Amino acid sequence: MAFSLSERASGVLLHPTSLPGAYGCGDLGLEAHEFAAWLRGAGQRWWQMLPVGPIGYGNSPYSAHSAFAGSSLLISLDRLAEEGLLPRSALADAPRFPEGRADYPGARAWRERCLKIAFQTFKNRRADQTAFEVFSVQNQFWLEDFALYAAIKRSRRDLSWTEWEPELRARDAEALDRAGHALREEIEQQRFEQFVFARHWRALKSRCQELGIGLIGDVPIFVAHDSADVWAHRELFFLDAQGQPTVIAGVPPDYFSATGQRWGNPLYRWRELEQSGYRFWLQRISQMLERFDAVRLDHFIGFQRYWEIPADEPTALRGRWVPGPGAKLFEALRKAHGPLPLIAEDLGAVTPEVTALRDAFNLPGIKLLQFAFGTDPQGPSFLPYNYCRNSVAFTGTHDNDTTRGWFEKLGETERRAALDYLGSEGRAIHWEMIRCVWASVANLALAPAQDLLGLGSEGRMNLPGTASGNWEWRLAPGQLGSEPQERLRDLTRIYGRRAR
């Protein structure tokens, strides 16, 4: 089934780790399939997720250890049992994990134990070996580096690659050969985990296709410093002789932070990327378009210009704007893939040049209703009467407070402006905001699952500029029931966004 961002439709933002489940965080198992069916019952067309790579610093999906690998936390242990790779008895003594939040350390420890058992069974399953080898060959361009990186990292108690022995840090050929031999079993374990992640992903995507649900993924513009990508391709990044960044990514002071955001990601050497024909980015987008039906480009403004911060600066204040690759990159992507099913996350310091780049490739931009009622000078552009059809409208995103939490913290002037615009008394502000977004002319309307439930700040997914306590929110079993489903279905019907 083909999905188009130019069709009038709607959907829900919910990361898979936020699904309920028995093993510490949500995954690609039964609850994911049930949520896809819930979306269908609500008349929705799209399911948006955050990045699905192996999470890194602060448990952030935007700091993944690989731009290509999938997170082993998302592998379904129950599906492994159904596939005969994991005995049911191995799941019988699962720890008691908390409900309502993801326990990443506990989930990781438990799942690693179960995945090792599954791998030992897998090695003796001849029926799976051909498919495994085909997968390994098709993904060799990233899989070999990632498996070796992950194996070395695990054998060195999760140290960053810049803290490994100098010869491994520098990828000395003999040192890599020795590590590959010594860690052969762990390397195969990592390849196996990527193989089963891909298999479970295909099963979920196939079910979503049957239900008429398109998947929206997320590509961070930058990659994490402690990642297989930076370790394996040091020539593509501004690093010193020890592998440390000389300049890093971030944004100047903005809506979220008075001192800006110091992300810490190493910056690309765009000239070297251009000389390679943007091979890294072509491979990255190609894989994402295999996993997803559309892709959100995080921090789109960085493709036109980005904020370069000296690595020794403690905040993002002392940075400078540097030109990005601009149209050259997107011409290469369009040549490889044709029309690009990409969403430009164009929030922040938007300039006419950013808008021109977005429009030159017919990419929908993002509109956030919460931003319409504050002090942001761009606030009027987020009022629905200023939307264009080729846009994606949200109540809020993973970086915002929930709509109810946001509303409860508003000053009196902003609160009155919001209520006057919505024609509301504020008793169910989350549904009034959803109604407003769904009624807009934007082709695509999206809301976080937390807003469907009217949750307060306890449901917030991420607070930019903070390093801990984020990405942990989860649905409790049965929390997303029939009442919000029916209400969302009615709004979707009223405003002409119903799935075909």
**Enzyme catalytic residues:** 298, 345, 399
Q: Is the dihedral of CA 464, 468, 469, 471 positive or negative?
A: positive
| Residue 128 CA, distance from chain mean position | 30
Between 412-422 and 429-439, two packed helices, what is the crossing angle to 10 degrees?
50
- Dihedral sign computed on CA atoms, order 365, 371, 373, 375: negative
Burial class (CB in 10 A: 0-12, 13-18, 19+), 290: exposed
- 204 vs 1: CA distance, rounded Å: 14
- Tokens 């690609």 belong to 28
Residues in Cβ contact with 104 at an 8 Å cutoff, skipping those fewer than 6 apart? 24, 25, 55, 59, 73, 471, 472
> With contact defined as beta carbons under 8 Å apart, do 474 and 19 qualify?
yes
Residue bearing tokens 């204040």: 317
Report the alpha-carbon distance of residue 489 to residue 78 in Å, rounded: 31
| Nearest in space to 237 (alpha carbons), one of 278, 277, 267, 262 | 267
Q: Angle at the Cα of 206 (from 477 to 446), degrees rounded to 5?
A: 60
